[in-house]
């Protein structure tokens, strides 16, 4: 599991011990002895997980976490000698994902780190699976919307249905009958309706609807959404 871990701990012997165990697991590790040093590191290095002490010189761990969570969602594991319920509740309230009290077993800490990294990667994979990108466009299957970069492209329900169906077909041509059955939920009807909706979509996503780049006609087979993956 290749990942970056930032340790923010002012007790050098402890941070070196944790770093030793994590590097043995194949993780890339950087250490900071203060929150201010950590913020400087974060300007040019992106961790996949942060191990954070609360009692730090200068800005304490709670302040750092409060500031960090304004813009970042990277998992944070607090490791602290402060074990009162109030401290644990405060840490989790500020956005920590887990809280481990000192003293701790380095092997157990490593196991927690690995579990947190695995969960985070699984969550990212699930999130990405709900998005479909082609050219400058992104289909958000959860929200049922199409965006061009950051601009939402207005689509009717049926227009979205046709586009989403072709996206889920992963570049394979779909016949008008297949599209009509999937989107209109009807085996029988006027399948020329499909061609009408394809033309509407082309007007919204193609630079030149008469020479489509994304919504292609595959003669004798139907239509397909060209993602550029096989271009």
Concatenated DSSP letters of 7-55: EE-S-HHHHHHHHHHHHHTT-EEEEESSHHHHHHHHTT---SEEEE-SS
- Please state, for a pLDDT cut of 70, what percent of the chain lies above it: 95
128-165 pLDDT tens trace:
568 899 999 999 988 899 999 889 999 988 999 999 99
Which domains does the chain carry?
Answer: 4-127 (3.40.50.2300), 131-225 (1.10.10.10)
C-beta separation of 194 from 162 below 8 A: yes
Q: What is the pTM of this model?
A: 0.59
Residue 70: predicted pLDDT: 87
C-alpha closest to that of 77 among 53, 93, 94: 53
Tokens 């944070």 correspond to 76
Per-residue pLDDT band for 230 (boundaries 50, 70, 90) equals very low
C-beta separation of 215 from 201 below 8 A: yes
> What whole-number distance in Å separates Cα of residue 206 and Cα of residue 174?
19
- The stretches of 69-156 forming alpha helices (DSSP H) are 85-94, 106-129
Burial of 206 (0-12, 13-18, 19+ CB in 10 A): middle
């Amino acid at each position: 599991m290749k990942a970056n871990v930032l340790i923010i701990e002012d007790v050098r012997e402890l941070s070196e011990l944790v770093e030793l165990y994590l590097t043995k697991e194949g993780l890339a590790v950087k250490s900071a002895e203060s929150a201010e040093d950590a913020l400087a590191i974060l300007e040019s290095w992106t961790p996949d997980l942060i191990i954070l002490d609360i009692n730090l010189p200068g800005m304490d761990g709670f302040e750092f976490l409060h500031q960090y969570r304004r813009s970042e969602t990277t998992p944070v594991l607090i490791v602290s000698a402060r074990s009162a319920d109030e401290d644990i509740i405060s840490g989790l309230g500020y956005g920590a994902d887990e809280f481990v009290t000192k003293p701790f077993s380095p092997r157990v800490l490593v196991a927690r780190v690995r579990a947190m990294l695995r969960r985070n990667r699984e969550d990212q994979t699930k999130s990405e699976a709900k998005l479909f990108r082609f050219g400058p466009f992104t289909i958000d299957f959860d929200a049922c919307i199409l965006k061009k970069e950051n601009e939402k492209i207005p689509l009717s329900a049926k227009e979205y249905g046709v586009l989403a169906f072709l996206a889920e077909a992963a570049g394979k041509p779909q016949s008008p009958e297949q599209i009509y059955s999937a989107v209109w939920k009807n085996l029988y009807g006027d399948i020329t309706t499909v061609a009408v909706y394809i033309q509407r979509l082309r007007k919204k996503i193609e630079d030149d609807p008469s020479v489509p780049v994304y919504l292609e006609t595959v003669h004798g087979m139907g239509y397909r959404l060209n993602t550029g993956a096989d271009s």
